[in-house]
Amino acid sequence: MAQIINGKLVSAEVREELKAQTQELFEKYGIRPGLAVIIVGDDPASKVYVNNKEKGCAEVGFYSEVYRLPEQTTQEELLALVDKLNKDDKIHGILCQLPLPKHLDENAVILAINPEKDVDAFHPVNVGRIMIGDYSFLPCTPAGVMRLIESTGVDITGKECVVIGRSNIVGKPQAMLLLHKNATVTICHSRTKNLAEVTRRADILVVAIGKADFVTGDMVKQGAIVIDVGMNRKADGKLTGDVDFASVEPKASFITPVPGGVGPMTISMLLTNTMTAAKNAIIK
Ligand code: NAP
């Protein structure tokens, strides 16, 4: 039987650390880390994420601003706001909630954010820094996964790690972070042949596909650590992961549940990046 990795608990630990650091920063320098979040339009899921980010800031004592812009906002208006926030000393981190409405160019917005304030770590400068292992900001979801793996106390060095999924926001940076911790890393995707053969080699299996209950017990090595990044809505509205918990849990040594695993970590890692950005701004 696997030990359950409790993402809520680990996330709460991260926020406690951040609270203490916020207080220290304020006492020493009179500065609070500041996060600006931009949301364009009325996407219900995005609204929930943005509200949670705002709440997260309040919880750890950060300064925050939320810009809720109408659907018909133009590219020029959005870029002008990013430019204003780039120049604002109270703001250490800027995040534009994706996806944007179709008429807006997401790439142009990502490029417009000052890399020193790019707390999502989506700017090519930060992506490149992650590649060479010289980074301030960790991409939030993969960073949360690393923290969860670390919470098991298992040393990543030399482990066979398999990541299923090669997206720019999860799979690819996840593989890089594991590599920087000296794992032997394999990345799988929709064209991978004999997927189960590859996944059965994994001491640590990270699954980020977006297909409910895709990974089953027969695809997992006895004693593996299994991290489920997937967030899928079932017909009954319930949230479920990419891993079939019922068949995988008996084989795994550690496993993350959905909900309550990777999900709660992502915003905590965003807050961690904002703290890092504030500290970097002080050092300058
Ligand atoms: P994505 O951009 O759609 O990428 C999915 C990846 O899975 C692709 O690389 C795709 O391969 C691969 N894939 C699809 N079907 C496959 C199959 N049958 N066998 C092997 N690989 C397959 O998704 P994403 O943004 O990375 O997100 C993945 C999941 O994580 C989603 O459920 C998302 O909701 C969730 N997520 C959760 C959080 C969180 O905070 N917990 C954050 C981000 C994402 P190809 O490249 O070949 O198409």
Contact yes or no for 101/71 (Cβ under 8 A): yes
Asked, for residue 132, whether it belongs to a domain, the answer is no
pLDDT tens digit sequence for 235-264: 998 999 999 999 999 999 999 999 999 999
Asked whether residue 133 is assigned to any structural domain, the reply reads no
Tell me the residue range of the domain where 87 lies: 30-114
| pTM (predicted TM-score) | 0.97
Average model confidence (pLDDT) across the chain? 97
Q: Residue 61: what pLDDT?
A: 98
Average pLDDT over residues 7-11: 98
**Ligand 1 nearest-atom number relative to CA 166:** 9
**Per-residue pLDDT averaged across 120-144, rounded?**
95
Residue pair 195/220 in contact by the 8 Å Cβ criterion:
no
18 domain-assigned? no
In a domain, 126, yes or no: no
CATH number of residue 149's parent domain:
3.40.50.720
Q: 100 and 173: one domain?
A: no
**Does residue 275 lie within any of the structural domains?**
no
Q: Tell me: pLDDT of 14 over 80.
A: yes
Residues 109 and 189 in one domain: no
Closest CA to ligand 1's atom 6: 165
CA distances from 178 to 99, 149, 183, 222, 250 (A): 27, 10, 6, 21, 25
Separation of alpha carbons 230 and 251, rounded Å:
19
Task: Give the whole-number percent of the chain exceeding pLDDT 70.
Answer: 100
Same domain as 234, residue 154: yes
The answer on pLDDT for 284 being more than 80 is no
Task: Report the share of the chain in percent with pLDDT over 90.
Answer: 96
Do 56 and 95 share a domain, yes or no?
A: yes
The CA distances from residue 54 to 97, 135, 201, 252, in Å, are 12, 25, 41, 35
Express each pLDDT in 165-202 by its tens digit. 999 999 999 999 999 999 999 999 999 999 999 999 99
Residue 277 is predicted with a pLDDT of 98
Answer with the one of 79, 114, 149 that is the final residue of a domain: 114
Say yes or no to pLDDT of 280 above 90.
Answer: yes
- Best mutation site among 167, 186, 197, 270 for ligand 1 pocket (most ligand atoms within 8 Å of CB): 167
- Cα–Cα distances (Å) from 240 to 67, 228, 232, 258, in that order, read 31, 10, 5, 6
pLDDT band at 55 (very low <50, low <70, confident <90, very high): very high
For 198-226, how does the pLDDT look when each residue is reduced to its tens digit (9 = 90+)?
A: 999 999 999 999 999 999 999 999 999 99
* Span 70-118, pLDDT tens digits: 999 999 999 999 999 999 999 999 999 999 999 999 999 999 999 999 9
Pocket test for ligand 1, best of 49, 169, 189, 258 (most atoms within 8 A of CB): 189
